[in-house]
Amino acid sequence: MSIAVTILGVSLLIVLHELGHFFAARFFDMRVLRFSVGFGPPLIRWKKGETTWQLAAVPLGGYVLIDGMGADESHEQGINDTRSFRNRPVWQRAVVLAAGPVMNWLLAAAFITSLAWTVGFARYDTTSATLGEILDGGPAAQAGLTQGDRVQRVGATAVEDWDHLVAAIRAHPQQPVLFEIQRRNETLSLSVVPRRADGGDFGVIDVMPPAHIERFGPITGLRAGLVGATSYTTQQVQMLVGLVLGTEQGRLAGLPGIVKMVSEQAERGARYLLQSLAWLSIGLFLLNLLPVPALDGSRLSFLAIEAVRRRPVDARIEGTIHGIGFVLLIGLMVWVSIRDLL
């Protein structure tokens, strides 16, 4: 059940991304030819106005087809058609392209806001190395660590707060390491084997800091959603920069890895599911703004070049770049997904 909920949630993030493009295009009276929920052969198709809506065979994600947005010039009414994407001002096309990623950012804020209004947030105390929730079946639980244990030392490393604890654990993936802990009035030594993190070459033991639940009112909850989405964005930008500079460890996760990660959070409850979907939605926001061919960021880059040159890049050149980028992107996704399954 958690896997089905996860796939539905990930599909929702992508479909709402495409709805961002759709609503922006309709706001500027551009002609939208098709909106598809899913990929592949259509299972159900209907037409409302000038837009064909369809449910496709592969239910993950979707796409929107705006007239004149492709590489060729064969849009319905020709080069003088003011309702074609290609014939609209640069700033309007930029808004339409940016609307998808922006929708993902707002969706993350909405997830966090809904948490603030309902089940509340777990506020973590990271000022010490005291253990909070111990996840069932994880390395900490298997080693006999319990909630309330105060970690004093990991191997030869003295631990003073949660950041020190995390750093010490990360340094020992798949390696037995001795934890010295204070449990009530006695000092114990337990051997723990941190597992290798999903998507990274570092150790984790599946524990959380001590926490208390905090709920918010309507205004403070909305503020918490905006602040939370901003915080997630900052954290992911820092992680991305760290990966590029080599100061952070990690790797790309494919669809199997993403589904596994989110479904594990779904099994822990609605709070963790919404938090992970918010985190993933911010990831989609940032990913789509990267200047990678076939993504929104690349199309925005071509619009920036057009604005500077005061004439568009040749449609065939742009189309070729996006086409090659799309093939490479699909290839990367397939390779990463296969690696996740091995």
pLDDT score recorded for residue 71:
53
pLDDT band, very low/low/confident/very high, at 316 (cuts 50, 70, 90): confident
Confidence of residue 106 (pLDDT cuts 50, 70, 90): very high
Asked if 23 contacts 287 with a C-beta cutoff of 8 angstroms, the reply is no
> Cα angle vertex 212, ends 211, 215, to 5°?
135
**CB burial string 133-169: b at 16+ within 10 A, e below:** bbbeebbbeebebeeebebebbbeeebeebebbbebb
Question: What are the structural domains of the chain?
Answer: 2-116+281-341 (no CATH), 139-211 (2.30.42.10)
Query: Both tokens of residue 131?
Result: 């253990």
Grade residue 253 by pLDDT with cuts at 50, 70 and 90.
low
Q: What is the pLDDT of residue 45?
A: 92
Known active-site residue 160: no
CA neighbor of 108 nearest in space, from 280, 225, 272, 278: 278
Residues 6+ apart with CB under 8 A from 284: 13, 14, 17, 101, 104
Residue that has been written with the tokens 């822990």 in this structure: 268
Q: Per-residue pLDDT tens for 30-69? A: 999 999 988 888 899 999 989 999 998 877 778 899 998 8
Q: Which of 18, 264, 306, 318 is catalytic?
A: 18
Q: What is the pLDDT of residue 319?
A: 79
Owner of token pair 């479909």: 15
